[in-house]
A and B are shown apart, each in its own frame.
Chain A
Amino acid sequence: MDVAIDVRNLKKSFNSTEVFRDFSISVDQGKITAIFGPNGSGKSTLLNILSGIVTKDGGSFHIDNFSHFEFSYIFQNYRESLLPWRTNFENVALPLEIQSKSKVEIRRRIEELQTIFELKIDWDRYPYELSGGQQQILAFIRALATKPKVLFIDEPFSALDYENNLRLRERLQKYYLAFKPTILLITHNIEEAVHLAEKIAVFSQRPTKVLETFDNPLLYPRTIQSLKSPEFDQVKDRVLSLFQRAANL
């Protein structure tokens, strides 16, 4: 399997807090990798370093064929990254406008994603008129409109109620199976991790190491039925046991 992201001996401290010391991880191409770990284990910091928002103190990392035009990052505070002066349509069009795509192309891409995500909203109105769940889906469509090869998602479902959470997971999965980008997914929810990810990396406490990375053998597409299967529970138990060790519970 090809490696899409390779991190070697990463070092990062904030003031006197050492988050990473000789941290290494490699992420497979075209898979969903979930990162699961205790609070403060530097999950978001890792994504921020990889996307160039935060500088590293040492070590190295490589993202295969990295280009901002083929990379997307869905922040935890997605609401604050939507632009209230732009209509819903114009918000989703922003990354494509940045890439100087034609109007026809923009419309085509957005319609395609609208179908996958089943978002029924008035596209000529504004994001502040939408519900939290709809805003979240809008942020997803905006991030995916460019068909990124690499996608970072930080806690995407934490603000949603369970029903919408399940729906969004199902649609994200649908998108993933259609376009197969490399996805790094941070989550605090074991069920989300096991539901979506093909690989699960469990982080330790600071200074952070990868305790273990293992394959999740459940077959895609994973439905609500899969959530109820004994295999699902087996994987979940394994993550929980590791997490217990990681967080000293």
Chain B
Amino acid sequence: MKRYTIIGPILLILLWAAIAQLQLIDKFFLPDPFTTVARLVELISEGAILDDIIATLGRVLLAFLISLAVGLPLGLLLGRAEKVYRSIEFIIDFFRSTPATALFPLFLLVFGVTDKSKIAVAAFASMLIIIFNTAYGVMHAKKSRVLAAQIMGATKAQIFRWILFWESLPQTFIGLRSAISLSLVIIVVTEMFIGTNSGLGRRIIDSQIIYEIPTMYAAILLTGIIGYLLNLLFLIVEKRFLHWSGKN
């Protein structure tokens, strides 16, 4: 990571501190960054918020793993059969364009007011993103490489295993990264609105309702940090594993 990447976070904190210091927003509604961070440290050392982190991360990971397990093979298969993909593209695009939040009621009807419905709606939306990106990765494989393998006498299975699968990986990873971020978003939102006792979303909405404003900001900050770290984790794996990405 470059040294200047630190400028962004510093700017954000300075801006936040300045707004709080100048009382541009009522202090009650926007505590300064130090109060917020102090509250966050307090929450973590008390341990209560750890359960929320574990609950949220657990749901996110489960939703992501389900979407991966279903979406990746489906995307690879559909990418191989471009005509099949084109014929069901509308369904994928339709649900991809429908805000997942609009589908909550549907999932609630099917899965009830449980963790299942939260995980299912997040997994569903993430899966579409993984399918879409993986299929496009396969379909946009360099023709020259496939052709070269065909001329060498490779079977369809060999071409898939040795060429198409690898060709799709950079685009697939973009899908995976978007999917984990989307899973987090959806899980946190569902925690706010579908009855539950744990999770960062519930922590945020509860603190807001009882005007525990520093706690609310601390939980928002924590959620943001988790989202950022998840993204960073995927970037690191991507860089390690897909060393050729962007090079020819």
Interface residues of A (CB under 8 A from B): 51-53, 67-69, 71-73, 75, 77, 79-81, 83-85, 94-95, 97-99, 126, 128, 146
CB atoms of B153 and A68 under 8 A apart: yes
A146-B152 contact, Cβ under 8 Å, with A85-B166, A126-B243: yes
Contacts of A98 in B (CB 8 A): 149, 152-155, 158
Give the dominant DSSP class at B's interface.
helix
The digit string for B26-60, where 1 denotes a CB below 8 A from any CB of A, is: 00000000000000000000000000000000000
Task: Produce 1/0 per residue, B144-187, CB < 8 A to A.
Answer: 11011111111100100011001001000000000000000000
Q: How far is the CA of A84 from the CA of B151 in the complex (A)?
A: 19
Of residues A77, A85, A98, which shows the largest number of chain B Cβ atoms within 10 Å of its Cβ? A85
Other A-B pairs, 13, CB within 8 Å; known A75-B144, A95-B152, A98-B158 = A67-B153, A80-B145, A83-B166, A84-B244, A85-B166, A85-B169, A85-B242, A98-B149, A98-B153, A98-B154, A126-B243, A126-B244, A128-B247
Contact of A128 among B142, B149, B163, B244 (CB under 8 A): B244
> CA A114 – CA B169 in complex, angstroms?
31
Q: Is B87 an interface residue (CB 8 A)?
A: no
Q: Return A217 CB to nearest CB of chain B, in Å.
A: 33
Number of interface residues of B (CB under 8 A): 22
B209-245 vs A: 1/0 string, CB under 8 Å? 0000000000000000000000000000000001110
* B binding-site residues for A, Cβ under 8 Å: 142, 144-145, 147-155, 158, 162-163, 166, 169, 242-244, 247-248
B residues near A126, Cβ cutoff 8 Å: 243-244
Instruction: Find chain B residues with CB under 8 A from A68 CB.
Output: 151-153
User: B142: which A residues are within 8 A, CB to CB?
Assistant: 80
Complex CA–CA separation, A51 to B243 (angstroms): 33
The residue in chain B whose Cβ has the minimal distance to the Cβ of A84 is: B244
- The one of B148, B152, B153, B247 that contacts A84, using a Cβ cutoff of 8 Å: B247
Partner of B147, one of A71, A81, A97: A81
Least CB distance from B229 to A in Å reads 27
Some 11 contacts from A to B, beta carbons below 8 A apart, are: A53-B150, A53-B151, A67-B153, A68-B152, A75-B144, A75-B147, A81-B145, A83-B145, A85-B242, A94-B149, A98-B155
Contact of B144 among A67, A69, A80, A146 (CB under 8 A): A80
